[in-house]
């Protein structure tokens, strides 16, 4: 994939906002400036701005592999220790609100986070990977739900 470089410092630009398959507002973290960049060929996924279901459904593991390691560890630990506190209603409620808010935020920003995290070989490779995360998210959540149901 073609990289866009900062006109001022030459570092790699990150996508700030995708406008179309060929245009984006891109940001240089170093200079803290944004630039409107147009590519000659299709560079971004058509659904760049759509919701990332994998990030929403299994943020605790999705984050670890898509460049949000500390958030992933936090979500993972919360999930792990959740059972120790699940007899306290306020904590249960706070946990679900927190996970839901983080999840929606991750879903909305997921494609941007994942796209900026690494060099993708192609738009198709990116789409395929994020689709796999979505399928994994559905399977894992169904399994968790079924197990919780069986255990009562
Ligand atoms: Zn720069």
Q: What is the pLDDT of residues 25-44, one digit of tens each?
A: 999 999 999 999 999 999 99
How far is the C-alpha of 100 from the C-alpha of 129, rounded, in Å?
A: 23
How far is the C-alpha of 24 from the C-alpha of 39, rounded, in Å?
A: 9
Ligand 1: centre distance to CA 139 (Å): 42
Ligand 1: centre distance to CA 50 (Å): 28
Q: Where are the domains of the chain?
A: 1-44, 45-151
Ligand 1: centre distance to CA 132 (Å): 34
User: Per residue in 95-139, pLDDT tens?
Assistant: 889 999 999 999 999 999 999 999 999 999 999 999 999 999 999
Residue 52, classified by CB atoms within 10 Å of its CB into exposed (0-12), middle (13-18) or buried (19+), is buried
> Confidence band (pLDDT; 50, 70, 90) for 51?
very high
Cβ neighbours of 20 (radius 10 Å): 13
Cβ neighbours of 51 (radius 10 Å): 16
């Amino acid at each position: 994939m073609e990289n866009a470089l900062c006109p001022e410092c030459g570092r790699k630009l990150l996508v700030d906002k995708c406008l179309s398959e060929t245009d984006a507002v891109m940001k240089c973290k170093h200079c803290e400036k944004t630039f409107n960049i147009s590519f000659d060929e299709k560079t971004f996924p058509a659904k760049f701005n759509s919701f990332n279901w994998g990030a929403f459904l299994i943020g605790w593991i999705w984050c670890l592999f898509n460049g949000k390691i500390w958030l992933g560890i936090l979500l993972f630990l919360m999930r792990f220790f959740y059972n120790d506190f699940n007899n306290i209603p306020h904590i249960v409620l706070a946990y679900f609100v927190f996970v839901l808010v983080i999840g929606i935020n991750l879903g909305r920003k997921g494609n941007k986070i994942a796209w900026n995290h690494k060099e993708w070989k192609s738009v198709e490779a990116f789409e395929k990977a994020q689709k796999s995360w979505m399928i994994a998210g559905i399977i894992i959540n169904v399994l968790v739900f079924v197990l919780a149901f069986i255990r009562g």
